[in-house]
Structure 1
């Protein structure tokens, strides 16, 4: 199987949503993808439950889906820290060997990571290692404001240095003039969508934002997954 064919086959299974930074909008983008593609959602490593509801509950509310479209987290931790640090506080160890893609029948799967690519999962592995293990193309969520060029290009470089497929970039929030063009040119990447900030985040606003997401079939049918 050629690399392109393999990438397209992986896209039919779904995508892994990661971000250039924390609080960049990964969960909102994941909810929009779930809504646009009628997908199933999975957050394998959930932290921060001591301070707020889990992202699974947030995606259910925003995407307007039921529990049958959500795979429970593999690991749920209390502290709002990296998975490695949060697990250590609970005398737990996250074993990547136990993490496998769940079966979701005919629906695509939207997997959301925790933090960015180099967030520690355990003593030796980072989030980027989990991405490689699961084998799904990446949707990279980036800000559009000052600093995004450096963060986005570094993230793309890290993914490609590992030989990981990138489905595209979603820009979250306002976009500074020239940032989109610079990311496309220097990152050699497709911008899948620009999602403006919504004054109120609810199922109605996510339904509107989801219309900006291209159909999964269009991404699969593109010239290449980069």
Structure 2
């Protein structure tokens, strides 16, 4: 396997980017030369005549990553907030997987290891006959699954892990993200143990919700948040 990990999720909008940025920041704080990649960004926004990737912009604000190599970190940017394959069809462009692989290989030469963030959930189509699992296999990376904390997450997480395994992917563990501690009930308390029992992989940590992340992400030390709430040892095993 390559040095690094791939971040996927049980759904869209569950904080994969927050977890990705937090892991990058945490590992940078511990002295690792960590790079990041968001190969596919739909819902890109235009600013000053340039198309920007919101997820990559968040990473640049909250980690020590710099904008040099922007097109390597995010080779595919599409405006429609749709599955990348659909967004590309709407825009009338063809996704070049070879270009994505070339960008990945270039980044691998620059960093000790990479944290790569997917798009949406596990079975999102990126190009014709090319889904997220195909990208993970192309990059030869193990997977961390990001899940939400509340009711329904057991079903989504178990399905994601079981399908990933059936497709031959290696799963490191699950990170539960966005726990609102003041609202947590019995479901939030029991979900982690049940997930571990049902799929026999560890829940690496539970990341609490922080409202400031959405309002002013630069004011939140995401690295510290991850270090305090996530077991990084299983991830570090895949960095060299």
TM-score band, normalised by shorter chain: 0.7 to 0.9
SS in 2 for 1:55: helix
SS in 1 for 2:161: helix
Per the alignment, residue 144 of structure 1 pairs with: 149
Per the alignment, residue 5 of structure 1 pairs with: none
Q: Which has the higher helix share?
A: 2
Moved more, 134-143 or 45-54: 45-54
Per the alignment, residue 56 of structure 1 pairs with: 56
Gaps of 5+ in 1: 1-8, 222-226
Where in structure 2 are the equivalents of 1:81-96 lying within 5 Å?
81-96=82-97
SS in 1 for 2:212: coil
SS in 2 for 1:24: coil
Task: Report whether the alignment pairs 1:14 with 2:14.
Answer: no
What CA distance in whole angstroms lies between the structure 1 residues aligned with 2:93 and 2:224? 40
SS in 2 for 1:146: coil
Contact 1:32 1:213 survives alignment (8 Å):
no
What CA distance in whole angstroms lies between the structure 2 residues aligned with 1:104 and 1:187? 35
What CA distance in whole angstroms lies between the structure 2 residues aligned with 1:53 and 1:96? 18
Contact 2:25 2:63 survives alignment (8 Å):
yes
Aligned residues: 211
Task: Report whether the alignment pairs 1:208 with 2:213.
Answer: no
Deviation at 1:207, TM superposition (A): 3.1
Per the alignment, residue 208 of structure 2 pairs with: 196
**RMSD of Structure 2 on Structure 1 (CA):** 2.2
What CA distance in whole angstroms lies between the structure 2 residues aligned with 1:213 and 1:104? 28
